[in-house]
Every structure is written in C-alpha cells, then in structure tokens.
Chain A
Amino acid sequence: MARISYMEAARQALAEEMRRDPLVWAVGEDLGRGGVFGQYRGLVEEFGSARISDAPISEAAILGASVGAAMMGTRPVVEMRFSDFALCAVDELVNQAAKARFMFGGQTRVPMVVREPIGMWRSSAAQHSQSLESWYAHIPGLVVACPATPADNKGMLKSAIRCDDPVVYMEHKNLWPLEDEVPDGEHLVPFGVARTLREGRDVTIVSWSAQVHVCARAAETLAQHRIEAEVIDLRTLWPWDQETVLASVSRTGRLLIAHEAVQVGGFGAEIAAVTAEWLGAKVRRLGAPRAPIGYAPTVEDAVRVTEAATVAAVREMVGR
C-alpha cells in the first residue's frame, strides 16, 4: 500500500502492464511530453517513443489506427485527451471498434482502451467539460468504466488493458490530484462489480466517477438527520452491477441515482427503470439540467449536482 494520486495510480497501472506485455502501447497527442495532464509523465523515457507514441491532432486516425493495430494483435491504449474531442472519432469507436468482432462473425477482437477524460474542471466550458458516459453504455460491444478512486484507477485500468473488448475508460479530470491508499503491484478490479462505500438502511444512493465523493459527503450530512444512506460506487456502467444495486434497494426500499451528466437520457434513467421494473421501488434521479456547461464559475456551478441537492432529494424521499 502506498498513498498516491488518482493520476499516479493510472500511470503505474500503464507502466506495469507495458512491462508485463510488450504488445501494449499508448498513443495520443503530446504523450512524449507526459500527456496533457501529466498522466504519462516519465513513460517515454522507460518505453521509448514507439510505445509511448505522439500523434497528430487527428482523432479519427488516433482511434481508427488503434482499431487496425488492435485487430493485428497489439493492445493500444488510446488517449483522446477530453471525452469531448473523442466525438471527432465516433465512427471509429461506434461503427468500427464496437462492431468488428460481431460483424466479422468472431474472426477478430479489438482489444483497446480508449481513455476519455470527462467532467467539469476549472472553468473548462462547454467543449472540455462534458460527461458523455451514457452514450457509450448504449452501444453493444463496448465496456464503459468510470473510476472514482486512486485504487480503482489502478485496478480498473489494468483490467481494461487486459480486456479483449474495446473499453471506454473515463477518468474524471477533477480527480487527478486526489490521493488515497493504492495496493502495490498486481491489483485488478473486475468489471461489473460495484463498491459499497457506506452501508445504510434508509436509502440507496448509486453514483460513479467524481460524483461518488459528493454522495459520500451527502451521506455524512444525512446521518446528522438520522438518515442512514447506503452509497454504491457503480465503477462500470457497462456491465453494471444490477445484483448489488437491486439487493441494496430491496433492503432500503428507496433509490437515488446521482450523476454529473445531463439527467435526460443519462445512465441514471436505465438504473431507475431496471429497479422499478424488478422491485417497484421508489426511485429518483439527480443529474444536470439539459444545458451546456458555462465558463463563469457561477454559470458552471448552476448545473452542478451538489451535496446540498443530494441531501435535499434524499430527505424528501425519506420524509425527514
């Protein structure tokens, strides 16, 4: 165990996997200088510029070339810089990477990790702040991972690199400096297994990525109001851990899903629908209003799902 940052955890994961498997390589803009956020710092010195490869600002080529390289037996880790920019490569991800195995009748696999940092981060405005995870959860063939902690950013990135499916790996930009204990060496977090970070009998709160930390703080506040909230970090949106969520809601009878992404068509809707179908439980969603994200802090904060909003929603559900 060592106390390291969310960013350093991912850097260690990639370095360990590259040492273990010579077919793993990373490609994206500015990687030779450590990447836009520093998450590749020092790696080119160890692995060389062929395996920690710079790329032109050509999102379609970065992603599309990685599809070809993956079909030829290598395991690319693709850096898209911002999930917003990955929209320039939606054909390559959705029509090509996600479908090659199926439409070619199982003749190939596309083992690639597509790193798409998400989320609001210091007045980054409308084209550098979005949380688009639900888009990819909708696409058969893709795995969607949204780590919330340093330990998970190590264990989930290692699992993503070893996965034979294309994995959309969405780190939250605001979590880069977050520090916590991270296991050394071989630490693998399986996909589709949620993490219950707090147990409680009154309500189940499901979230993922940075919003998990907002929910954890809300749960502390709720405890002062004698409301015991169970908080579940979903970790992966596809596959998502229905068993853990449904088991929790069957005990608490109430479910709140909170996410930073726009509420309309967000993944919270899917979780709410499944829970209602199976348990008929009382469900509620908290997501952003359907508005672009603004630059000014006041405008940015106006669409943020806050701790206060989470507390208020739960108190209304519980009735105290």
Chain B
Amino acid sequence: MSETPRRNIDIARLRAHHLTMCRIRALEEAALRGLGDKVVLGAIHPSIGQEAVAAGVVGALRRDDILLSTHRGHGHTLAKGASSEAMLRELFGRVGGNCGGKGGSMHIADFEVGMLGANGVVGANIVIAAGAAHAIKLKGEDKVVCCIFGDGAINRGPFLEGLNWAAVFGLPVLFVCEDNGFAATTRTASMTAGGGPAVRARAIGLPAEEVDGNDVLAVEDTAQAMIAAIRAGGGPRFLHAKTYRLTGHTGVDTAPYRPADEVAARKREEPILRAADLLRGAGVAEAEIEADRIAAEAEMSAAYDAAIAAPFPGPEAAFLDVQDVGSPALGAF
C-alpha cells in the first residue's frame, strides 16, 4: 500500500513502535499457542492486526498516565509497560501473573504501570475512566487518563454517560475507539445508526478526530496532540482509530462470517508490514527490521517457557482479597 508522503520520519521513533508492535504480535501468537497447548484455559480475544493503536496511543502517554482497556487488551497492557512474562503467567492462571492468576486475560491489570484493568464487560471501562480522571482533577494532578474501547461499545449506555460526564466536568481523559469493524461476530455498521463514533462524540461536545488506525505514526501524532491539549486543561478528547481485526472474535473463532478476499486484502494493510515498509523506505537495513521480530519472538518464547513452569495458586487464593469486612473464612467448605 502506498504511504502518504511524510517528511522527516523520526526513524528511532518508528523503530521503537515497530518493536512494540512486533512484541504485541508475538505475545498474541504465544497466547494462541497456549490455547492450542491447553495452557490458556479461558477465552482470549486477540488484537492481531490492531497493534498500531496500542503502540501509537499508549506510546504517547507518560509512564504515570492512566490506561483502561478492554477484553481485547493484551496489546495495550504490554505497551503500557507490563511484563510479558507476568502477562503470560496470568493467561495461564499461574503464580506471578499480574493478578496472581485470579483474573486471566479479560481482567489483566498492572497498577504499577498505571494500567487500571481490562474489562470483561463491553463499555464498562468508559465510566470508570471518567471517574479516574475525576479523581485526578480533584487531587490537582497533571496525569491524563486514556480509555480504549471497541466500536461495539458505542452502542452501550455508559458510552453516552461517560462521555457526557467527562465533558461536563472538564476531565483529563482521552477516549479512543479502536474500531476493528466487528462487535463480537457481527459487523458493527449493521447494528449502528448514525454517523459513527466521532459524530456521536462531537454531538456531546468532545473534539473528535478520525485516524487510520493501521498507521502507527499517524495514530501517535494525533494522540500526542490530543493528550497535550488535555494535559493543558482542555478537557476530554475523542480519537476514532479505524483498523481491522485479522483474527476471529476469540482465539477459537475462525470468523467464517466474512469473505476470505476481504481478510486477504486487509492483511496487506496490516500495521507491522506498513511500519516495516516505511523503515525500508527510510533506509533501515532489512536485517535490522528482521531483528525486531526475532527479538520479540525470543522474548515471548522465553516468557512462555517460564510461565508454563510456574505453579497454579493454592486454593486459599480463592478466599483472599475478597473484602476486609466479612471476608470468607479460609477453607470455608
């Protein structure tokens, strides 16, 4: 695919994004391998093909900024700085997972890096993100909250309630609609009236922009400008990033509901290939580009081996961290 001519590409920045995207891809592939090997026990929702949104948006955040993600959130979490080994341990339900093996793929969180959680309920993170930003404003901090959700989420009530809340209170939050075209296994457009995510956001008064979500530099540039405006006190912003989900809804969904030629065409536009093309065009040697992929796969392979060697948590973990008052007794049965 031909790229929009771009002057003065920052090669180091693009290279860093390329590596991040390769790491996300390799993590997702390791997770799918885990599914095949029956060490990933529950459902996983791969983001293969959508890596530029994670790399570009999260790359524009500060380390102490806050991120909320979705059931399809492995890429966001890794990009925010979570350890790949801890993530695979969590997917495998093992000790040393981000949540001690108690959350799994859909509840990965890493508060150390400001990642306040994936969420198993579509759209639920939108109001929580508004509240996280509310707390930042109450405390007078200069952090920004980034809330990533899918295109299916814009048909849920919390989308309206959360965006309105953030606008009314002038909160520091960037809403990102990562639009992969599908709400589970249904084409979102077939179930969505009106002009789409950005139109809805503008109707609530949020400045909104659309971006090619497979162009990592465009995603980062747009997100960066919006985050700067938010941090300067400009209130919430809305980014609609259009991408394509190359896999099915879950790791076991073969997605027979879409034509093969559509998928083949979209594979040619996937973000890692496009970043690699840009790097080549800027004179980066093929071996260096390939080195990112090799390094990412080596990291995930080692993480995989470490994760499958880790033990499951003991059954007592079932009774820990329920609540302080009225906590269940250990070994209640």
Contacts and interface: CB of A to CB of B under 8 A. Distances in A.
A185 interface: no
A71 B116 contact: yes
B158 interface: yes
A72 interface: yes
Interface of B: 66, 68, 97-103, 107, 109-111, 116-117, 119-121, 124, 126-136, 138-139, 157-158, 160-162, 164-165, 168, 320-326, 328
25 contacts: A23-B139, A25-B138, A60-B158, A61-B158, A61-B164, A64-B126, A65-B130, A67-B127, A68-B129, A68-B132, A71-B116, A72-B131, A92-B124, A96-B121, A102-B102, A103-B107, A104-B102, A106-B321, A108-B111, A141-B322, A142-B323, A143-B326, A163-B324, A164-B324, A192-B326
B102 A67 contact: no
Contacts of B103: 103-105
A50 B137 CA distance: 9
B131 A69 contact: yes
Contact of A105 (B97, B126, B165): B97
Given A65-B165, A108-B111, A74 B138 contact: yes
A143 B139 CA distance: 27
Interface of A: 23, 25, 50-51, 55-56, 58, 60-61, 63-74, 76, 91-92, 95-96, 100-108, 140-143, 163-165, 191-192, 238-239
A91 B127 CA distance: 11
A64 B109 contact: no
Nearest to B323: A165
A238 B101 CA distance: 27
Given A58-B161, A105-B97, A165 B127 contact: no
Contact of B124 (A69, A71, A96): A96
Given A58-B161, A72-B136, A106-B100, 8 more contacts: A61-B161, A61-B162, A64-B158, A65-B128, A67-B131, A72-B135, A101-B323, A191-B326
Given A64-B128, A71-B116, A74-B135, A56 B161 contact: yes
A147 B101 CA distance: 38
A170 to B, nearest CB: 16
A63 B126 CA distance: 12
A207 B143 CA distance: 47
Contact of B131 (A65, A103, A163): A65
Nearest to B99: A105
Nearest to B168: A56
- Which 8 pairs from chain A and chain B are nearest by CB? A68-B131, A64-B127, A65-B131, A239-B326, A105-B99, A72-B135, A105-B100, A61-B161
B130 A64 contact: yes
A56 B164 CA distance: 9
A91 B162 CA distance: 14
